Chains A and B, each alone.
Chain A
Amino acid sequence: MPEADPRIALLLALADDEMIIGHRHSQWTGWAPHIEEDLAFSSIAQDEMAHARLLYGLAGPLLGRDEDALALGREPEEYRNAVLCERPNGDWGYSLARQYLYDTADAVRLEALASSSWSELADRVRVIQLEEKYHLDHARVWFARMAEGPSLTARERLAAGLGASIAEAMAVFEPLPGEPALIADGVLPRANESLLSEWLAAVGEALEAASLDFVLERHAGIGEMVPTGSGEISEAVTLAPPGVSHREGRWVHEGGFTGAGGRSGRHSEDFAPLWEEMTGLYRAHPGATW
């Protein structure tokens, strides 16, 4: 896939995150603990896929492919989502921890992109922001409910979910290929490292308030990225996020990312089965419309 225009890497990162996490959220439909949560996750999924569509709509002319072809017609290694978004839903604790970390991270980057020099992107981002507010509300009330108890099981499961996802959530801010050019043009108003720093401080504060900040101290690595296709990626690569420490009352990261992950099309072992399922119908009936 030609990626001469650095805006493509940005759009696919944003759109694929929304598409893939939207697909995961949609898997709660019919299985959530009660019907209101079926509706909540189904609605959030519908919003996220619509946001992906708005962004694929901008990427389409740059790539010469329509929205459907971008959403469903690419090979696994062409997807640029963060690994966080592709993980299976696990239990309720993991799902809500992941939603909390993802949507708080998404809010930070959307706020920056709302002042992008690329006005078509900024316009769409402002539309997306108005809808993401409800996703954040959902994640925050569940975070508070599970963190504060009275159920110790709920708190333990939330903590386990946060521990499993925190490093992968940091990798939402993995630097993009071509990022310096995006910053120079003002398309991306702030570097991913600066966005990571803002998000980590805010999330650190919320975790501290809930006495859950130990998950930052113990944050695990992301692990091996497995080959997602027979193409250019021939061997497993590890993506490691920066370290995290607490300094002068604030959670900060140290150093940068090593290796390469979702933003280079490298994914976890969970991506291939998701891709098989998500794109199966599209691949079975090429060119179908509905």
Chain B
Amino acid sequence: MPAEAPDRAALEGRVWAALAAVRDPEIPPCSITDLGIVERVTLTFDAVDLELLPTFAGCPALDAIRQDAEAAVLAVVPDREVRVRFVYSPAWTSDRISSAGRAALRAYGISPPRGRTEAEPAPVLIPIEAVHAAEPRGTCPFCGSDDTALESSFGPTLCRATHFCRSCRNPFESFKPKLPG
């Protein structure tokens, strides 16, 4: 209905703004829109349908994200039913993280993921002697040095890897690239 169109656009804007305030509990500096988790918002007469993409399939934060997104949207459209579902197409990739999200990760001490066009370094193994032999990978979020090494592709959450900075000698984490190929 044409008469409804401006209202609907405004309402949709409010829904997106509400979602932009929902944090990922495992990556608190980033909202779910920064991370590119929100794939689609569909407003109908009596409902709002949200389609979210899981970052990692086994992420234990998914249920919390679902509940928080539902509550945030319900607060701005209390008269409608809010339905949240996770979808698998397209597959979430780490290049969906916005530049604001990347900056927030870096400020929080997590190196943002390598982009699709950046070369992929060979995986290495800890312990530390392997680290010293390894090719540099990742920029240290503390001192900005590229003289770093991957310690392990696995870390405290499924989406993070652990590194060591040879310049400032701090361990740090990165958001794991999740890219095709």
A contact residues around B178 at 8 Å (CB): 130-131
Convert B82-112 into 0s and 1s, putting 1 for each residue whose CB lies closer than 8 angstroms to a CB of A. 0000001101110000000000000000000
Question: Which residue of chain A lies nearest to B153 when distances are taken between CB atoms in the complex?
Answer: A134
A contact residues around B88 at 8 Å (CB): 54, 120, 123-124, 126-127
- Shortest C-beta distance, B160 to chain A (Å), equals 10
Task: Let me know if A285 is at the binding interface, CB within 8 A.
Answer: no
Task: Let me know if A89 is at the binding interface, CB within 8 A.
Answer: no
Task: Let me know if A43 is at the binding interface, CB within 8 A.
Answer: yes
Q: Are A36 and B151 in contact (CB under 8 A)?
A: yes
- Listed stretches A45-53, A179-187, A201-209, A246-254; interface member: A45-53
Within 8 A of A (CB), among B147-181: 151-156, 158, 162, 176, 178-180
Residue of A42, A126, A138 near B91 (CB, 8 A) is A126
Task: Let me know if B58 is at the binding interface, CB within 8 A.
Answer: yes
- Listed stretches B29-37, B71-79, B118-126; interface member: B118-126
A contact residues around B127 at 8 Å (CB): 34, 36
Question: Which residue of chain B lies nearest to A53 when distances are taken between CB atoms in the complex?
Answer: B57
Within 8 A of A (CB), among B48-77: 54, 56-59
In the bound assembly, the distance between CA atoms of A39 and B92 in angstroms comes to 23
Query: Beyond A123-B91, A127-B91, A128-B57, is A46–B158 a contact (Cβ under 8 Å)?
Result: yes
B contact residues around A44 at 8 Å (CB): 154
B contact residues around A127 at 8 Å (CB): 54, 57, 88, 91-92
Question: Which residue of chain B lies nearest to A51 when distances are taken between CB atoms in the complex?
Answer: B57
Residue of B58, B152, B176 near A36 (CB, 8 A) is B152
Interface residues on B, range: 20 to 34
- Shortest C-beta distance, A16 to chain B (Å), equals 17
In the bound assembly, the distance between CA atoms of A199 and B59 in angstroms comes to 30
Q: Are A138 and B57 in contact (CB under 8 A)?
A: no
Within 8 A of B (CB), among A168-196: none
Question: Which residue of chain B lies nearest to A142 when distances are taken between CB atoms in the complex?
Answer: B125
- Shortest C-beta distance, B40 to chain A (Å), equals 15
Query: Beyond A127-B88, A137-B123, is A43–B57 a contact (Cβ under 8 Å)?
Result: no
Q: Are B125 and A145 in contact (CB under 8 A)?
A: yes
Q: List 16 A-B contacts (CB under 8 A).
A: A34-B126, A39-B152, A39-B155, A47-B56, A47-B58, A49-B58, A50-B56, A50-B59, A126-B91, A127-B88, A134-B154, A137-B153, A138-B123, A138-B154, A141-B123, A141-B125
Which residues does A use to contact B, with CB under 8 Å? 34, 36, 39-40, 42-44, 46-47, 49-51, 53-54, 119-120, 123-124, 126-131, 134, 137-138, 140-142, 145
